Amino acid sequence: MQALVVVAHGSHLNPDSSTPTYRHADTVRETGVFDEVATAFWKEEPSFREVLRTLESETVYVVPLFISEGYFTEQVIPRELRLESFDVEQWDSDGTSASSTTLEASDVDKTIHYCGPAGTHDAMTDVIVRRAESVTDNGDVGDGFGLAVVGHGTERNENSAKAIRYHADRIRDSGRFDEVRDLYMDEEPEVDDVSDHFETDDVVVVPLFVADGYHTQEDIPEDMGLTDDYRTGWETPAEVDSTRIWYAGAVGTEPLMADVLLERARDAGADVGSAVEQVRRDTRAGAD
Amino acid sequence: MTTPAVARLSSAVREEPVACDGLHAEYDEDSYRLAIPEAGVERETLTESEFETLAADHERYVQNWAYWNEDRADADEAFLRWLEAADETAIPDRYESLRAGTARSWGELRIEVRLVDGKRRYEIRHTDDAGRTDLDRHDEPLDARSLVTEDDDGRYRPLKTAPSLPHGWVFPDLTGRACVETVEYVYPATVANWYLERQGELDVDHWEATIGRQSGIYGVVQTWNRGDSYEHVNWVAEACCADSQCVKRREWEYDDETELDVPGGDGAFPCREPCSLVIAAARKWTRLEGEQEQRYEFTLTPSEKEQVEEIIDAVADGRAAEIREADTADPANRYRARYLRAKRFDEDDNLSGTPTETSE
Ligand code: SF4
C-alpha cells in the first residue's frame, strides 16, 4: 500500500489557511492512485508528529505544501516527523532543486519518501500560468499581457526569492507573456509600483503563496493600490496608473496545485498511473 | 441451509484453525471440529455437511467471526471491538445489545453500533444530540471535516478536541471502516494513540522534551526554565488541558520523573505531548512571565473587588457571552462592567487612576 501525506502550515486563527491543502488532497484522493491520502499541519491536527501512525500503508510519500525550501522543509518537518537520519545534504539542492530522499521515521515501521516542497517543482510554473488563465478567464492569455510573480522577499528566507525567480525565468523563457517580472513585498523590485515595471496595458499579478490570508487578501491589494481598504474589495481587472491589474490571489488555491503534489510523489517513485494527465485535464476551468 | 458466512467459515478453516469470541473450528484430514463451549457445543470428526449444519445452528457466532475476519488495521479493529465491548461480553448478550443498539462516547461523540439485517452499522452524532430526530443526515465520512471546523456560533475551532463540537448532524448508517474514518476527521489520530496506549506502547513526550525540541520563534519557551518553571507548567496545563477545555486526557507531565499537580482529566483517549496551541500560548506566557512583579494600589469597594474576580471567572469559563443583558445581579453583566469602567477608569483607561508604569 502507498500513502500520500500533504504537510502544510495551517493556522490557529484563520480557517481558510488549510482549505487549499484539503482541496488538493481531496483531488488526489479522488484519482484513487493512493491507498490513503492524508493531510497534516504544523498548527492544526493531525500534527506532523502524529500523522504517520494513522496510516496503514508501508510506503509513504510526504509532500510539503510550502512555497520554498527553508526552515520548515529542512528543520521543522523532518524533526517533527521523526525522520532522524535526515540531512539537508541528501537533497543536494541549490535552493530550488530538492526532489526527494528516502528515510525511516523512528515511531513507525514504514518507508518515508520525503519530497521537496511543492512550490519549487517545475510543474508549479504551469500552475502560475493556469492561475493567470483562471483570473483572466482566458485559456490563451499571454499576448499583450505582462505577468508578475510576487513573493515575500528574502527577509526571512533567501530561498523564497529564489523560488519566485526560478518560475518567473521559466515563464519568461517560454515566451508566452510579453513581459514577466518577479516582484516582492519587502524588497526591490517592489510590488507597490507594479505598473512601473511593465510596458503592457494588462498585467496579471500572481502571488506565490499557498493560501489566501493576510498577505494576499489585505497587504498586497492595498500596497498595489487595487483598493484603499481591503474590506471593500477590488475590481478584477482594476485600473491602477492606467494599467489594468488582474490580481489572482494565492496561487496555491488553483486546483491544478493537486498535480504538483502528484508529480512530486511520482518523481519520488510513487505509482500514480495516469492521474497526472487526469488531474491536469479535470482541473481546467470549465472542465466537467 | 448453508449461508455465505458458513460457507466462508468452512473454507477458511481448511486453511487454518479459527478462534473468535468463543467459536473454535479446526480441520484435519477430511474431518472438522467445532467447539462453542458457552453454547455447549463440542464436536469432532464432522463431515463438511455436518460441520456446516452445526455451524448454521449457531449462526451468530459464525457471522460474528465473519465480521471480525474482514481485513482492517489493528487499531481500527481494536476500536470497533471496544465500541461493542467485544472483549467483555459473550456473543448471546452482545448480540442482544447489538440488536437494540449499544453506544459509547468518544470525546463529545456518541457512537452507536447496531445490527441491521445481521450486519453491523454505526451511527455517529454529538452526545448532546442523543434522541434528536431533526438532525442533518450525512453519509460521507469526509463531510465531518467541514462540519467540525466551526462551533455552533460559527467560530473557528483551532483545537479539534476542544469541547465545542457543533450540534445538529448525524451519520446514521456507516460501515465499520467509514465509522473509524469519520471519527478520525473529527478527532485526528485519537484512535491510533488510544490503541498504542492499550498496547502499552504510547510514546509520551513530556513538557521538558517537547519544549527542548522547539526552534525558531518557539525556542524562546526553552528559556522558561527558571526555578519556578514547574509551577508555570502546572498553570499551563490547568489553563489549557482541563476537561472543560480539551477532551483529551493529558498524559504528558513535566518530565519523566516529575508529575504535574493538576489531574490529566477523564478523556477516553490520551494526549501524548503538548499540542501546538499550548506551545504557542506558552510562548506568550514566557514573555509575560519575564516581567517583574510590582505592587499597585487600587481603591475598590468590596463588591467591586469581587466583581473584578467574577469578570475574570466569566471570561475564563467562557460564560461571558451567556450572561443576560438585563441580569444586573450577575457581577460580570455587561452593564455592570460598563458602570465599573465609567466609575473606576481614568481617561487613560487606568484602573482607579493607577498608572501601569510606576517608575516616574
Ligand atoms: S496539550 Fe492539552 S490542550 Fe493540547 S491537546 Fe493535549 S490535553 Fe488538549
Burial B34-59 (b: 16+ CB within 10 A, else e): bbbeebebeeeebebeebbebbbebe
β-pairing verdict for B249-250 and B270-271: parallel
Q: pLDDT at position A92, please?
A: 87
Predicted confidence (pLDDT) at residue B219 exceeds the cutoff of 80: no
Predicted confidence (pLDDT) at residue B94 exceeds the cutoff of 80: yes
Q: Across all residues in chain B, what is the average pLDDT?
A: 94
- Residue A284 has a CB neighbour count (10 Å cut-off) of 15
Arithmetic mean of pLDDT, A64-92: 94
Where, residue-wise, is CATH 3.30.70.2320 in chain B?
A: 203-289
Per-residue pLDDT of B309-321, as tens digits, reads 999 999 999 999 9
A53 CB neighbours in chain B (<8 A) are 189, 192-193, 196
Task: Return the closest-CA partner of residue A124 out of A251, A248, A31.
Answer: A251
Q: pLDDT at position A160, please?
A: 84
Beta-bridge partner residues of B25: B18, B34
Arithmetic mean of pLDDT, B203-227: 79
Predicted confidence (pLDDT) at residue B359 exceeds the cutoff of 70: no
Arithmetic mean of pLDDT, B61-67: 96
To the nearest whole percent, how much of chain B has pLDDT over 70? 96
Per-residue pLDDT of B150-203, as tens digits, reads 999 999 999 999 999 999 999 999 999 999 999 999 999 999 999 999 999 999
B273 CB neighbours in chain A (<8 A) are 49
Where, residue-wise, is CATH 3.30.1360.190 in chain B?
A: 74-195
Q: pLDDT at position A156, please?
A: 66
Q: pLDDT at position A73, please?
A: 95
β-pairing verdict for B136-137 and B119-126: unpaired
Predicted confidence (pLDDT) at residue B218 exceeds the cutoff of 80: no
- Domains along chain A? 2-120+254-282 (3.40.50.1400), 123-253 (3.40.50.1400)
Arithmetic mean of pLDDT, B49-61: 96
Cα of B162 from ligand 1 centre, angstroms = 9
Measured by CA distance, the residue closest to atom 3 of ligand 1 is: B241
To the nearest whole percent, how much of chain A has pLDDT over 90? 89
Q: Across all residues in chain A, what is the average pLDDT?
A: 94
Cα of B269 from ligand 1 centre, angstroms = 11
Predicted confidence (pLDDT) at residue B77 exceeds the cutoff of 80: yes
Contact A50 B272 (CB under 8 A): yes
Measure the CA–CA gap between B161 and A250, rounded to whole angstroms: 30
Measure the CA–CA gap between B179 and A10, rounded to whole angstroms: 26
Per-residue pLDDT of B284-317, as tens digits, reads 998 898 889 999 999 999 999 999 999 999 999 9
The three grid cell numbers given for residue A207, joined into one nine-digit string: 502571488
Q: Which CATH class is domain B74-195?
A: alpha beta
Query: In chain B, how long is the greatest CA-to-CA distance?
Result: 100
One-letter amino acid at A1 equals: M
Chain B CA closest to residue A40: B188
Predicted confidence (pLDDT) at residue B215 exceeds the cutoff of 90: no
DSSP letter assigned to residue A47:
B
B213 CB neighbours in chain A (<8 A) are 79
A109: contact with B, CB 8 A cutoff: no
Closest CA–CA distance from residue A83 to any residue of chain B (Å): 14
Arithmetic mean of pLDDT, B112-140: 97
Interchain CB contacts (distance < 8 Å): A and B: 57
Predicted confidence (pLDDT) at residue A286 exceeds the cutoff of 70: no
Continuous segment of H or E residues that includes residue A202: strand A202-207
Nearest atom in ligand 1 to B272's CA: 6
Arithmetic mean of pLDDT, A226-250: 93
Arithmetic mean of pLDDT, B140-156: 97
- Residue B277 has a CB neighbour count (10 Å cut-off) of 19
Contact A50 B275 (CB under 8 A): no
Predicted confidence (pLDDT) at residue A107 exceeds the cutoff of 50: yes
Arithmetic mean of pLDDT, B73-81: 97
Closest by Cβ to B149, choosing from A13, A15, A71: A15
Q: pLDDT at position B360, please?
A: 46
Task: Show the beta-strand stretches assigned E in chain B.
Answer: 18-20, 23-28, 31-36, 41-46, 102-106, 109-116, 119-126, 136-137, 169-174, 249-250, 270-271
Predicted confidence (pLDDT) at residue B234 exceeds the cutoff of 60: yes
Substitution target in B72, B140, B155, B156 with the highest count of A β-carbons within 10 Å is: B156
Q: pLDDT at position B228, please?
A: 66
Q: Which CATH class is domain B203-289?
A: alpha beta
Per-residue pLDDT of B10-32, as tens digits, reads 999 999 999 999 999 999 988 99
To the nearest whole percent, how much of chain A has pLDDT over 70? 98
Residue-by-residue DSSP string for B195-214: HHHHTT------HHHHHHH-
Ligand 1 pocket, residues with Cβ under 6 angstroms = B 161, 240-241, 246, 248, 250, 271, 274-275, 277-278
Residues 78-97 of A with CB under 8 A from B: 79
Predicted confidence (pLDDT) at residue B2 exceeds the cutoff of 50: yes
Beta-bridge partner residues of A59: A2, A111
Entry pTM: 0.94
The confidence band for A6, taking pLDDT boundaries of 50, 70 and 90, is very high
